[in-house]
Amino acid sequence: MSFKKIAAACALTLGMTATGALAEYPERPINMIIPYGAGGATDISARAIAEALTAAAGTPMVMSNVTGAGGATGSVAVQNAKGDGYTMLFARVGSHTVNPAMKATLPYTLDDFRFVTVYEINPVVCAVTPASGINSMDDLIAKAKDGGVSYSSSGVGSLLQLAAVMVLREFGIEDPLKATVHIPQKGGGEAATAVLNGTVTFICTNSSALAGFVSNGQLKPLLVTTPDRLEGFDAPTAAELGKPALEQLVGWTGIAGPASLPDDIAAKWGEWMATAVKDEKFLAVMDKAGSVINLMSPDEAKAFIEGQYQTFRKLVDDLGMRIEG
């Protein structure tokens, strides 16, 4: 018997046991993969909801950070997992809309996952140092037209990179890739540091990453992408500046399984999440991070992610930003 046949036989037996187990899902701990490192926005969000989810599901949720390649390593681990609902992913804007839009070589597409929900949305804030002398988006754009403006990101294919490009383009810089310089950093913390120490001119990232610097007066916010003004950030909204299109520029966290995840398991997750997001401790943590809780059904989540992906993909294609190698 060839290895393939054995594998097929194994898969078949497994398939049968899996169907047998379905009736009583979940019968054992669920492994939740966080594709980013400890201390990051995804990690904090995931660990904040873990306890409430455990209570709702009645089974332990084991949090596993699988980091690397801008979230790709962890995402692939779930893509290749069995669709039995025991391996799920905390999907994030970077790993599931920006990366697929930008990287041709990514080993997965959106179709490899089944989203059960998107539960958290973070607005994006663009900021500069007070020492830069830039006081508004107009100042920044004027300076960008003169040349010599740069921005940092947590790496190629991160929300930070795309956010900066999208903002610049909305504000009338025709080719942001030529007019400005992108200086990628190793991570979100390093990206913020780069603005502080003057390596780059500005940064656009999730409000939670900048809240501390803004309240300490180390950074000056220029723009927020929420429909209403954001507490703690003394900056105009995108709509106030006449660029409502930028409201699509938000970070989010959701939960996904492999594409083969059956309907009944997805439905169970819907119930759990509905209970979990009401948890007060979770809400308190999210509130401090400046996140908005917005629980979406699987279909809403899919439409939302697809919509954001299309926007980003169009921008990437228009500017020739897609990475082919």
Partner 1 sequence: MSFLDSLMLGLSMVANIESFLALGIGVAVGVIAGAIPGMSATMAVALTLPFTFALQPITGILLLLGVYKGGIFGGSIPAILIKTPGTPASSATVLDGYPLAEKGQAGKALGMALWASCTADLISNLALILFAGFLASFALNFGPPEFFTLMLFSLTIIAGVSGESLLRGALSAMLGLLLATVGLDLIYGTNRFTFGDANLMGGLNFIAVLIGLFAIPEIIAMVWNPKAFDGQKRAMGKSWVEFSEYRRCFKSIVRGSFIGVILGAIPGIGAAPSAFLSYSEARRTSPNKANFGKGELEGVAAAEAGNNGVAGATLIPLLALGIPGDVITAIIIGAFMIHGLQPGPMMFVINADIIYALFIGLIVSSVFLFFVGSVAIHGFKYVADIPRGVLFPSVLVLCIFGVFAVNNSIFDVGVMFAMGWVGYFMLRYRIPAAPFLIAFILGPLLEDNFRQAMLMSGSSPAILFRGPITWFFWTLTAITVFAIIRAGIRATRQHRALRTANQA
Partner 2 sequence: MHDRTIQLQLGIGAIIAAAFLLLVAIPTWVSSPSNVPNIILSPLFWPWVLAGLTAITGLAMVLTSIREPRPAEPAISEIDDKPRAWGRLASIAAVMVVAMVLMPRIGMVWTAMLVFVATAYLVRTSHPKTALVSAVVIPLVLYAFFAHVAGVAIPQGDFVRLP
The binding site for partner 2 (CB under 8 A) comprises 10, 14, 17, 28-29, 31, 62-64, 320, 323-325
217 binds, among partner 2, partner 1, none (CB under 5 to 8 A by kind): partner 1
User: With b meaning 16 or more CB within 10 Å and e meaning fewer, what string describes 273-284?
Assistant: beebbebeebbe
> What does the block give as tokens for 22?
């379905």
Rounded to whole angstroms, how far apart are CA atoms 110 and 186? 25
Q: Give the residue among 293, 251, 252 at the shortest CA–CA distance from 276.
A: 293
> Least CB distance from residue 64 to partner 2, whole Å?
5
Residue 103 is classified by DSSP as B
CB of 207 to partner 1, least distance (A): 12
Are residues 219 and 234 in contact, defined by beta-carbon separation less than 8 angstroms?
no
Alpha-carbon distances, residue 322 vs 99, 155, 162, 314 (angstroms): 10, 14, 11, 10
Asked whether 100 and 229 are in contact (CB, 8 A), the reply is no
SS3 label, residue 59: coil
Q: Does 76 bind partner 1 (CB under 8 A)?
A: yes
Nearer to partner 1, 173 or 200 (CB): 200
Rounded least distance, CB 193 to partner 1, Å:
5
User: Residue length, the chain?
Assistant: 325
Question: Residues 215-254 vs partner 1: string with x where CB under 8 A?
Answer: xxxx------------------------------------
| Binding range to partner 1, per CB under 8 A, among 10-18, 58-66, 220-228, 264-272 | 58-66
The position carrying tokens 């003004």 is 229
Q: Give the per-residue contact string, 157-186, with partner 1 (x = CB under 8 A; - = no).
A: x-----------------------xxxxxx
| Collapsed DSSP state (helix, strand, coil) of residue 116 | strand
Q: How far is the CB of 37 from partner 2 (least distance, A)?
A: 15
Q: Which residues bind partner 1 (CB under 8 A)?
A: 33, 37-40, 43-44, 47, 50-51, 64-70, 72-73, 75-77, 102-103, 105, 107-108, 150, 155-157, 181-186, 189-190, 192-194, 196-199, 208, 211-213, 215-218, 281, 285, 288-289, 323, 325
